[in-house]
């Protein structure tokens, strides 16, 4: 047996030197290996673009493990080290191929700000890395940069969305949600704020500093020391540099980038003035069309969702990612304008929308949340490469699970999926201001066909409340068959409807007839109605699909139930999961009633879809005396709700008087339904 003796300190130094030398050699060899990987990438680029060769990668790793064993090296260690090496070389090759995609391609980029602005510097960093040359559209506002892309004047916009010190840039989030542009990239840009002055300026003499509110927040500690200085808010960092150059006053300074100092010929009075040395802003690159990222490249996906406001709703939604072992990298919440009861959550996760397991996760999410939209999948340098998976680990080949899911869904051949029972077994419950549509209780929606006056609405709302109704209706924009009929009082009517609803604690529903009106109506009304004549107005359906209000979709008077479900799919696929359907009578040869109430629609729809189904006997019958018996039949057959038209004085009604119940008739009907005594 060898005698163990402690090495003396000199020996240890020597051994450490040897290890340093070996590590240096390893690094040199890794760099050499990287150069060879790049050469392979160039070859691949010339001979088309094959996807990664997993069989070869696995073979290589097995060889290295075998050789390592000859050197007495642990197979686990060799396995781990070479997987990292192989992943890195795949990443290097894919990045090269990305760059090579469009040699000397030029891209037009819209930014908010001028040259020297952080947006411009971030865009430059992003496209320099890709080897793409850039033309800039310099816009005065974020909204203008977004519309430059929408009008086709720019290919993409590069916009800041969050900063490590000052947090989310909410204006940009809100504009992006409205815009429908897709996220195709992101870049983390290191912000290096500098204090700039004209030649001869000195910090001790400064009396005024122009700066952007974000820069004020990020440099608050430095600014607090300059107690004799007035801070003047300025809308743009680089422009504040231009401003002080034009003023030519040595007592005035600006906070901007070093680049801005160079552009405007200013002196840098101090660098590193931010509260935190590590001050980064994340910019997103947005385009009209989504990006398609090949498998294997580290990919981030951004989505936006709204969850219900019951306890645990957010946790349930996030649990879906946890269960699928998907790494969340960012969660940001934003209030929904004019909708204080709900919040939107922006979420970034490590995953690619073209991966079937990600598709499955997002599918599960749509069953749980009120709203979910994918903003985009894009390569991200913030993420680590996905490890090379062991051969045979995945039981079924990629793509199979998504396919079997589709096959398992009996409704998919008919052109809808998200609305089908196959997608979601449990009934959707649409909740609005405490009223639950789709649950056990029958919900009654009532009110006049059209909002005509303040008094009419107040009287109707009082009757709805007192007789046990839950939701107040009233048409503001009336889609009339004849252009000479009363068309509704528009936005003025909406004010009256909302006030009447508030006075009696009733949420309100009103019809929206054009995509341009959706945003304005959604700001005030609790539920958006799509009428029978618009059931296949696809741009209108998409517009309400982007809104954050529940939608009542009425069946087209000549539409089949599958067509109704496909119309609902337009709404669901835009993100809005809060949809309920309304049977309101269809055209048949029978002329005794205005339309024929298709009561079998209720059980058929309940079989095919998880969405709540209600019945409107008023528009079906066209005759007020037929409404109560039809309402009872709808209740008996399992409708989740009933919508009826009522009027304080039906004979004077400006629309649909003959089918409107008197307030007394309504009260009696509610007693008959067991909702009032």
* Residues acting as catalytic residues: 281, 283
Interaction partner, residue 531 (ligand PEP, Mn ion, none; CB < 5-8 Å by kind): ligand PEP
Contact partners, residue 338, CB within 8 Å, separation at least 6 = 523, 524
The reply on whether position 594 binds ligand PEP by CB under 6 A is no
Q: x/- binding map, residues 209-248, to ligand PEP, per CB under 6 A?
A: ----------------------------------------
DSSP assignments along 29-59, one per residue:
HHHHHHHHHHHHHHHHHHT--PPP-HHHHHH
For residue 559, state whether it binds ligand PEP (rule: CB under 6 A): no
Q: Is 449 in the site for ligand PEP (CB under 6 A)?
A: yes
Q: Is 427 exposed, middle or buried (0-12, 13-18, 19+ CB in 10 A)?
A: middle
Residue 511 touches Mn ion, criterion: CB under 5 A: no
511 binds ligand PEP (CB under 6 A): yes
Distance CA 284, CA 268 (A): 29
Q: Residue by residue, what is the 3-state secondary structure of 102-162?
A: CCCCEEEEEEECCCCCHHHHHHHHHHHHHCCEEEEEEECCHHHHHHHHHCCCCCEEEEEEE
Q: Are strands 133-139 and 106-112 parallel, antiparallel or unpaired?
A: parallel
Q: Which of 239, 449, 512, 626 binds Mn ion (CB under 5 A)?
A: 449
Q: In angstroms, give the least distance from the CB of 450 to ligand PEP.
A: 8
The span from the CA of 390 to the CA of 395, in Å, is 11
Residue 554 binding result from Mn ion, ligand PEP, none, given CB thresholds of 5 to 8 Å by partner type: ligand PEP
Q: Which of 508, 510, 472 is nearest to 488 (CA)?
A: 510
Rule CB under 6 A: is residue 650 a binding residue for ligand PEP?
A: no
**Judged by CB under 5 A, which stretch of 8-16, 308-316, 410-418, 653-661 contacts Mn ion?**
653-661
Taking the C-alpha atoms of residue 282 and residue 60, their distance in angstroms, rounded to an integer, is 38
Q: Are strands 299-306 and 339-350 parallel, antiparallel or unpaired?
A: antiparallel
Give me the residue whose beta carbon is nearest to ligand PEP: 531
475 binds ligand PEP per the rule CB under 6 A: yes
Q: Residue 459 or 577: which CB sits closer to Mn ion?
A: 459
**Of 123-131, 241-249, 276-284, 528-536, which part binds ligand PEP (CB under 6 A)?**
528-536
Which tokens belong to 671?
């007693």
CB of 304 to ligand PEP, least distance (A): 30
Nearer to ligand PEP, 117 or 537 (CB): 537
Task: Give the interface segment with ligand PEP, choosing from 27-35, 424-432, 451-459, 531-539 (CB under 6 A).
Answer: 531-539
Q: How far apart are CA 229 and CA 208, in angstroms?
A: 5
CB of 640 to ligand PEP, least distance (A): 17
The answer to the question of residue 656 lying near Mn ion (CB under 5 A) is yes
User: Among 128-136, 395-403, 529-537, 572-580, which window interacts with ligand PEP (CB under 6 A)?
Assistant: 529-537
CB 334 within 8 A of CB 344: yes
Task: Determine the Cα–Cα distance for residues 207 and 203; give it in Å rounded to an integer.
Answer: 9
Does 583 help bind ligand PEP (rule: CB under 6 A)? no
Which of Mn ion, ligand PEP, none does residue 245 bind (CB under 5 to 8 Å by kind)?
none
Residue 531 binds to ligand PEP (criterion: CB under 6 A): yes
Can residue 624 be called a binding residue for ligand PEP (CB under 6 A)?
Answer: no
Instruction: Enumerate the β-bridge partners of residue 435.
Output: 432
DSSP class of 476: S
State the binding partner of 381 from ligand PEP, Mn ion, none, CB within 5 to 8 A by kind: none
Does 451 interact with Mn ion (rule: CB under 5 A)? no
Nearer residue to Mn ion within complex by CB, 449 or 463:
449
CA distance 460 to 454: 10
The reply on whether position 532 binds ligand PEP by CB under 6 A is yes
C-alpha distances in Å from residue 377, one per residue of 36, 110, 152, 526: 30, 20, 22, 32
- Nearest Cα neighbor of 633 from 598, 589, 605, 661 is 598
Q: How far is CA 531 from CA 31, 489, 589, 606, in A?
A: 66, 17, 22, 21
From 140-148, 365-373, 458-466, 525-533, give the range in contact with ligand PEP by CB under 6 A: 525-533
Stretch binding Mn ion (CB under 5 A), from 54-62, 246-254, 320-328, 446-454: 446-454
Find all residues with CB under 8 Å of 72, minimum gap 6, and list them.
none
Residue 546 binds ligand PEP, judged by CB under 6 A = no
Q: Are 442 and 477 in contact (CB under 8 A)?
A: no
Query: Is 584 an interacting residue with respect to ligand PEP (CB under 6 A)?
Result: yes
Which is it for the CA torsion 202, 203, 204, 207, positive or negative? Answer: positive
Q: Which does 647 bind (CB under 5 to 8 A by kind): Mn ion, ligand PEP, none?
A: none
Instruction: Output the smallest distance, CB 481 to Mn ion, in A.
Output: 11
Q: Which is nearer to Mn ion, 211 or 449 (CB)?
A: 449
* Minimum CB distance to ligand PEP, residue 616 (Å): 6
DSSP state of 528: E
Cβ-based neighbour number of residue 596 at 10 Å = 17
Q: How far is the CB of 633 from Mn ion (least distance, A)?
A: 20
Taking the complex as a whole, the smallest distance from the CB of residue 639 to ligand PEP amounts, in Å, to 15
The residues binding Mn ion (CB under 5 A) are 449, 656
Residues found near ligand PEP in the complex (CB under 6 A): 449, 475, 511, 531-533, 554, 584, 619
């Amino acid at each position: 047996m060898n005698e163990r003796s402690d090495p003396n300190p000199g020996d240890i130094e020597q051994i450490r030197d040897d290890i340093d030398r070996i590590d240096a050699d390893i690094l040199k060899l890794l760099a050499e290996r990287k150069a060879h990987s790049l050469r392979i990438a160039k070859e691949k680029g010339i001979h088309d673009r094959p996807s990664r060769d997993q069989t070869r990668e696995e073979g290589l790793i097995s060889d290295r493990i075998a050789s390592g064993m000859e050197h007495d090296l642990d197979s686990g260690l060799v396995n781990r080290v070479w997987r990292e090496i192989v992943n890195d070389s795949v990443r290097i090759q894919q990045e090269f191929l990305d760059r090579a995609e469009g040699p000397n391609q030029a891209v037009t980029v819209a930014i908010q700000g001028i040259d020297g602005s952080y947006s411009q510097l971030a865009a430059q960093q992003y496209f320099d890395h890709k080897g793409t040359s850039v033309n800039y559209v310099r816009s005065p506002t974020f909204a203008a940069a977004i519309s430059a892309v929408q009008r086709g004047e720019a290919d993409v916009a590069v916009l800041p969305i969050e900063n490590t010190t000052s947090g989310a840039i909410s204006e940009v989030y809100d504009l992006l949600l409205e815009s429908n542009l897709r996220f195709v990239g992101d870049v983390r840009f290191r912000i290096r704020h500098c204090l700039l002055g004209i030649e001869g300026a000195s910090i001790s003499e400064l009396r005024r500093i122009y700066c952007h509110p974000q820069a004020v927040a990020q440099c608050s500690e430095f600014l607090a020391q300059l107690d004799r200085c007035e801070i003047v808010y300025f809308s743009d960092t680089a422009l504040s540099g231009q401003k002080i150059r034009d003023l030519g006053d040595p007592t005035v300074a600006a906070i901007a980038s070093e680049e801005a100092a160079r552009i405007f010929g200013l002196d840098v009075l101090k660098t590193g003035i931010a509260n935190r040395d590590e001050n980064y802003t994340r910019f997103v690159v947005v385009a009209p069309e989504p990006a398609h990222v090949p498998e294997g490249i580290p990919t981030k996906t951004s989505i936006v969702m709204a969850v219900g406001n019951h306890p645990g709703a957010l946790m349930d939604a996030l649990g879906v990612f946890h269960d699928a072992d998907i790494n969340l990298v960012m969660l940001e919440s934003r209030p929904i304008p004019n909708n204080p009861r709900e919040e939107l959550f922006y979420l970034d996760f490590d995953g690619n929308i073209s991966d079937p397991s990600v598709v499955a996760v997002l599918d599960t999410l749509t069953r749980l949340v009120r709203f979910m939209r994918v903003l985009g999948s894009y390569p991200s340098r913030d993420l680590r490469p996905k490890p090379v998976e062991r051969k045979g680990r995945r039981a079924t080949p990629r793509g199979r699970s998504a396919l079997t899911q589709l096959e398992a869904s009996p409704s998919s051949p008919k052109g809808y999926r998200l609305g089908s029972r196959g997608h979601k077994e449990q009934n959707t419950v649409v909740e609005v201001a405490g009223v639950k549509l789709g649950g056990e209780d029958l919900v009654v929606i009532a009110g006049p066909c059209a909002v005509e006056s303040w008094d009419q609405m107040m009287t109707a709302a009082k009757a709805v409340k007192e007789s046990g109704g839950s939701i107040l209706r009233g048409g503001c924009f009336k889609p009339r068959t004849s252009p000479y009929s009363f068309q509704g009082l528009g936005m003025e009517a909406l004010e009256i409807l909302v006030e009447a609803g508030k006075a009696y604690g009733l949420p309100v529903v009103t019809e929206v007839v054009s995509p341009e009106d959706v945003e304005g109506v959604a700001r005030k009304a609790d539920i958006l109605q799509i009428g029978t004549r618009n059931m296949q107005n696809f741009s209108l359906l998409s517009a309400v699909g982007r809104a954050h209000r529940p939608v009542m979709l009425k069946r087209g008077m000549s539409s089949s139930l599958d067509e109704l479900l496909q119309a609902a799919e337009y709404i669901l696929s835009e993100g809005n999961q809060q949809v309920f359907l309304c049977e309101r009578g269809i055209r048949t040869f029978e002329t005794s009633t205005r339309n024929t109430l298709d009561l079998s629609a209720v059980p058929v729809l309940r079989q095919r879809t998880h969405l709540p189904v209600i019945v409107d006997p008023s528009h079906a019958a066209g005759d007020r005396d037929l409404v109560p018996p039809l309402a009872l039949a709808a209740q008996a057959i399992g409708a989740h709700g009933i919508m009826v038209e009522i009027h304080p004085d039906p004979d004077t009604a400006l629309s649909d008087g003959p089918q409107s119940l008197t307030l007394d008739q309504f009260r009696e009907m509610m007693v008959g339904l067991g909702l009032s005594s």
